[in-house]
Homo-oligomer: A and B are copies of this chain.
Amino acid sequence: MGRGRPRKTDPEQALDTAMKVFWNKGFEGTSMSDLVCATGMAKPGLYACFGDKEALYKKSLTRYFDNLGTPLLDDLEHSTDPLPIVVRRFLETVAHSMLDESCPSGCFVVNSLIEGASQHPALKAIGKEYDQRRRDVFSQRFADAQKNGEIPTQVNAQALADFFAAQSLALGVMGRTGTNEKELSNFIDVALTALPANH
């Protein structure tokens, strides 16, 4: 086993905790003291494990996306379900995560895009990377759908993909302000009427 004094807190668990704090309170709104209290790790321990505050924020956002974003995008990319089914599942999963009782703080990526836009180019950059990844998967899936005849050839598949990708931005803001489940559900129902069926 290790040679020195044993860890009081598992770093992976500390990162999960830090993620929720940053997610909820933002970068500027979170102090290192907040993180010390929440994680149980002492301040020098945090710096030794994760680097400075910005590095810890980046790792938190990456953890968030690995947990929630990547599985969502994998399903969107690889599921053989019909397009309306898979798009609905995507939006409903996003909406469901907005109601997560353990951290009802909207979408961490959206929060990062908003807060990092002006002052923290590094944070904006990583947020935009994840935002772009989502958009790319939507674009690819909708282009395939048009080739497969799931949507009519005369519609602009790229615009349609961008539209549905952007709906998760609206859901993110709504989730942050406490919109309830029924309203989120209605929102998704209306959004899906913009998806043209091929018949």
Contacts and interface: CB of A to CB of B under 8 A. Distances in A.
A110 B114 contact: yes
A141 to B, nearest CB: 16
Interface residues of A, number: 43
Question: What is the count of identical protomers in the complex?
Answer: 2
A190 B160 contact: yes
Contact of A159 (B114, B117, B186): B186
A93 interface: no
Given A28-B26, A174-B166, A177-B128, A159 B190 contact: yes
Contacts of A170: 166-167, 169-170, 173
Given A162-B183, A162-B186, A169-B169, A177 B117 contact: yes
A172 B177 CA distance: 15
A167 B124 CA distance: 22
Interface in A103-148: 105-106, 110-111, 113-115, 117-119, 124, 127-128, 131
